[in-house]
Chain A
Amino acid sequence: MAAHADLALAEQCRAHLPGAFEQLYRAHAPRLFGLACRMVGRHEAEDLLQEVFLTAHRKLGMYRGESSLGTWLFRLATNHCLDHLRSKRARFAALTDELETEPVAAGASSGAVVGVVDRMDLERALASLPPGCRTVFVLHDVEGCEHQEIAALLGIADGTSKSQLHKARMRLRGLLGSAGGVRGSN
């Protein structure tokens, strides 16, 4: 159940109490913007964040408090990002399919050693992953979602979520092991 404060804030937003929706925005926008930046890229994340909060404003009447407002908004934002990626994928289907089916290149004996992982390098490397495994990595490793939850969000099997995560980590390991290339790609 959502906390009493969430229900109260949702009620204030529905009643158009001055400042209520801004309070909701200030509390949740940074996390949702981080999610969108990592899933679709910073350039498009601003538009998506706007869309998410406009949708939230329209749909707040449907919020019944079964989950926290943060979770409700997170699902809304994830779905917006996924819709965006799907429409993009439809436009570039051939290229994306090729990337998605490419096997993991880095092997255990490849010698790529990450060392201390710099956050900025990781953000840059993330942007170069194919959307499928990047989405799973962001949801699992950055946002802390469980595979079951990710599978439900993406409409895939738990096992697929696990294998995509492994693929993402191994690719990132390879990219960060040759960090010069990663820096040059962005």
Chain B
Amino acid sequence: MTTCQDTESRLTLFVDGDLSADERAVVAAHLDACAGCRGVARDLERLRRTAGALGPVTPPDHVWLEVAGQIGAPGPRAWVRRATTDPRVALRQWLGLAAMLVVITLSAYVVLRTTRQDPAATAGNAAATGSVQALTEELTSAMHHYENAITQLEALAKGDSQVIDPVVAATLQQNIQTIDGAIAESRSALGQSPENEPARESLFEALKSKVGVLQATVNLMNQMRKGDQAAAAEAAAAFGKKS
């Protein structure tokens, strides 16, 4: 007679049908006589079935936008309708903003990290008061930088919005609205409790997300503008082959 311990170690192989006929018969005989092991086998079988039914997960839209922006977007070229802005101007604007965003993100990260790691800054003693104030000022300043970047990116994104297909534009707008909702919620929480660190982090995360979506939008528009001639020639050649 096999023990429960011997049987249990073989139950995964049993439910997967990976045991030889002889071994299977031994385990089956034990299960007939042992309700405990039978219960384990039944649970493992349910787990296996449920796991097998876990399906794909749809990624958020901005992932594709980031990918499309970085690969020079042969895909998004299908969304190009017309290019009206001087690409050199748009590229210069974009490079300037990109450099600024790197600085802002780094400074916000350093400030948030400092806030978390400096226990004195939250202890509330007299010596720490100055440093708390300085950190608050730096955070406010970083937040303003984010907001400025968002304003400028929004202006760029709206400046020539016709280059993006209306369906894609609607998706982007929906993403922005969701993020704006999160920003409003975090601001409201911070308004009630300015020292609320999770709310502050949520606000930064939401601002960062908004910058990310806007970056992806502008990047996409620039890729379209940059690749226009080649894309047109490519599309013409492709249509030529089809016809």
Residues of A within 8 A of B (CB): 13, 16-23, 25-26, 29-31, 33-34, 37-38, 45-46, 49-50, 53-54, 57, 107-109, 111-119, 122-123, 137, 141-142, 144, 162, 165-166, 169-170, 172-173, 176-177
- Taking CB atoms, residues of chain A closer than 8 Å to B76 are 22
Q: How far is the CA of A54 from the CA of B71 in the complex (A)?
A: 7
Contact of A54 with B67 at beta-carbon distance under 8 Å, contacts A112-B43, A122-B50, A166-B12 already known? yes
A22 to chain B: closest residue by CB: B75
A37 to chain B: closest residue by CB: B57
B62 to chain A: closest residue by CB: A46
B106 within 8 A of A: no
Q: In whole Å, how far is A59's beta carbon from the nearest beta carbon of chain B?
A: 12
| 21 pairs, A vs B, C-beta closer than 8 Å | A18-B74, A18-B238, A21-B75, A22-B76, A23-B75, A29-B58, A29-B59, A34-B54, A46-B60, A108-B5, A113-B43, A117-B47, A117-B50, A119-B54, A122-B51, A122-B54, A142-B54, A162-B18, A166-B12, A169-B44, A172-B47
Q: How far is the CA of A114 from the CA of B49 in the complex (A)?
A: 12
Contact of A142 with B43 at beta-carbon distance under 8 Å, contacts A18-B78, A25-B64, A166-B9 already known? no
Q: How far is the CA of A5 from the CA of B157 in the complex (A)?
A: 37
Q: Do A119 and B50 touch across chains, with their CB atoms under 8 A apart?
A: yes
Q: Do A108 and B58 touch across chains, with their CB atoms under 8 A apart?
A: no
Q: Do A108 and B7 touch across chains, with their CB atoms under 8 A apart?
A: yes
Q: In whole Å, how far is A57's beta carbon from the nearest beta carbon of chain B?
A: 5
- Taking CB atoms, residues of chain B closer than 8 Å to A115 are 46
- Taking CB atoms, residues of chain B closer than 8 Å to A23 are 75
Q: How far is the CA of A21 from the CA of B70 in the complex (A)?
A: 12
B231 within 8 A of A: yes
| Chain B residues bordering chain A, tally (CB within 8 A) | 47
- Taking CB atoms, residues of chain B closer than 8 Å to A169 are 12, 44, 47-48
B40 within 8 A of A: yes
Q: Do A49 and B46 touch across chains, with their CB atoms under 8 A apart?
A: no
B54 to chain A: closest residue by CB: A142
Q: Do B43 and A173 touch across chains, with their CB atoms under 8 A apart?
A: yes
Q: Do B234 and A16 touch across chains, with their CB atoms under 8 A apart?
A: yes
Contact with B59, one of A46, A114, A122 (Cβ below 8 angstroms): A46
Q: In whole Å, how far is A38's beta carbon from the nearest beta carbon of chain B?
A: 8
- Taking CB atoms, residues of chain A closer than 8 Å to B11 are 108, 166
B181 within 8 A of A: no
Contact with A30, one of B47, B59, B77 (Cβ below 8 angstroms): B59
- Taking CB atoms, residues of chain B closer than 8 Å to A20 are 74-75
- Taking CB atoms, residues of chain A closer than 8 Å to B66 are 50
Q: In whole Å, how far is B34's beta carbon from the nearest beta carbon of chain A?
A: 8
Q: How far is the CA of A11 from the CA of B75 in the complex (A)?
A: 14
A147 to chain B: closest residue by CB: B18
Q: How far is the CA of A49 from the CA of B57 in the complex (A)?
A: 12
Q: How far is the CA of A69 from the CA of B15 in the complex (A)?
A: 31
Q: Which of A13, A111, A122 has the most CB of B within 10 A?
A: A122
B50 to chain A: closest residue by CB: A117
Q: Which of B48, B50, B234 has the most CB of A within 10 A?
A: B50
